[in-house]
Structure 1
């Protein structure tokens, strides 16, 4: 009679685990843009806004043109969610890396942005990475990692060569001088950046290098933030934004890869939070969206099935021990009875009666 509820409960647990893993797998997203070919479903995945345009034979995107007050944005069209806040819903981590260059003029530089769906996509100004109009409307819901090449005292910039993390405002919550690693953002040379967010530790890390061969082991900038609490189940878009300010600074993006993944379990991640990317300079690893998605779904199915079976085994094992302890009758241990032989002898006993005078 006890096996029926055990089976029912174990199946329920297995179903919950399976649903959780399946949902996490369906939310994951990966893409890799090693070139920007508008003739290969480019328009269905990428939006070029403002002055952004494809240049150099489809090999790169120029976000700002060589003119005063130019501004543009490169956005991936498919929205993502960081969710979280509920044990039944996975929190999502992400890793992105891209290569870019900024010309020597005194423009604003480049910003990697995470924007809510209500952010005005076609509203730009020629300064502040082209984000000012949107920040006035949806400021508290905007995240930007700025590669700033202009010292704007109005927002407390320390210099014209720093990386900053902006949350809902252009006043950076944390900054780091790029000169500390002997790099110059507006050198016109190709630079490589890695941005990683871990939903489990709620930590955002930014790395920068002038070589794409190896990802730096130590981050240039770290910041604690809960993105799932910031956006909850709201859809957001990821991309890059730039503006030239009062100069003719140009900003070019050569490649861009992005990976959104669930935090459980770690072996399901298609890419670790802190990978060491080994490739030729200027080339990033190609991630095949369809194959990786299928593999993650299959892994999720196997994981859910395994968890369900393990849970059922543990429940049944514990129930068996508990039931045995409560058993009212105890069966004694029986030992086999074997015949035993005994030896015996006849003993003669002589009794001597005493005489009357006491002598024998």
Structure 2
């Protein structure tokens, strides 16, 4: 437990006070001892030396709003006798570094008992939810490659973690989950996301990250099953293109009704105020002027309706 407390402490320091070096992918920063190795272009978070630590961090911070969904996947391996790694979501400002949420993949061979677990931490090294992955025949520091999925559902405020061996599909049931409200923790403030690892004084582990994908979406208010990009300032391009025909159709219908109404009012006013002065002109109109007028109005409406249909 003390080793992992030091691990989280080192990760927080690197997150808040980082002198980052950039690597080829434009969306990530390498911090501390993290570096790229060839030929598979994996990111090694640590050197095989004691007290080595490093972070692979998303360069642009995230902004959570209600209701948002976060989905992230990464593949990794931990060498023998390693301590594991941590997926960390941390407030971007240094004002309160304890405002973090972490998913720890914790493994240790120190002492009489072997630690091999996945846990969720919130502002503390003490896990609020934990699962022993030995129960599903997984050994984190075996040197094997693993798949990890971390999903947050803002509508239900649930954080779920899934873990499998490399090449296996994403399981339907999480290995561990916890009820949590990201918006309540961070509000609309920017949040950094990163994968971190740190060696203790007796550890020479090497932690490798082979791939990492992250998606943050804002759930539509109309239907929780459909999501749009987390852009509070407007619709996505696809939604905008879908809404344009409806907007045009509504405008045409509204314009047609307005034209018909104005025409009716003008004819009505003309009959009332100008009938006496225009008797000579009215004599040229057939015996049923009202029929003629209404017929013309109907034709105008039908024409516009045909235009709408076309």
TM-score band w.r.t. shorter chain = 0.5 to 0.7
Calculate the TM-score normalised by the size of structure 1: 0.56
Contact 1:262 1:269 in 2 (8 A): yes
Deviation at 1:118, TM superposition (A): 2.0
- Pick the structure with more strand per residue: 2
Deviation sequence 1:183-225 (CA, Å, 0-9, x none): 0000100000011000001000000000334111111001000
Which residue of 1 is the match for residue 199 of structure 2? 244
Q: Give the alignment's Cα RMSD to 1 decimal.
A: 3.1
- Paired residues, what number? 222
Structure 2 counterpart of 1:260: 216
Deviation at 1:80, TM superposition (A): 1.0
**Counterpart check, 1:299 vs 2:239:** yes
| Residue 13 of structure 2 corresponds to residue 54 of structure 1 | no
CA deviation after TM superposition for structure 1 residue 139, in Å: 4.3
Determine the structure 2 residue equivalent to 1:163.
118
Looking at CA atoms only, which structure, 1 or 2, has the larger radius of gyration? Answer: 1
Asked if the contact 1:268/1:299 (under 8 Å) is kept, the reply is no
1-structure distance, mates of 2:80, 2:101: 26
Aligned to 2:78: 102
Name which of 143, 166, 174 aligns with 1:211: 166
Alpha carbons 1:51, 1:65 under 8 Å: kept: yes
User: Corresponding residue for 1:227?
Assistant: 182
**Residue 86 of structure 2 contacts residue 102 of structure 2 at CA under 8 Å; is this kept in 1?**
yes
Q: Where has structure 1 moved over 4 Å in runs of 4 or more?
A: 303-310
Looking at structure 2, the residues matched to 104 and 117 of structure 1 have their Cα atoms a distance apart, in angstroms, of 33
Which structure has more RCO (C-alpha within 8 Å, separation ≥ 6)?
Answer: 1
Question: Displacement of 1:250 after TM fit?
Answer: 0.7
SS of the residue aligned with 2:49? coil
| TM-score (ref. length: structure 2) | 0.65
Alignment-derived partner of residue 92 in structure 2: 117
Distance 1:65 1:268, change over 3 A: same
Q: 1:186-205 maps to which residues of 2 (within 5 A)?
A: 186-205=141-160
Write out aligned runs for 1:76-91 (5 A). Answer: 76-84=58-66, 91=67
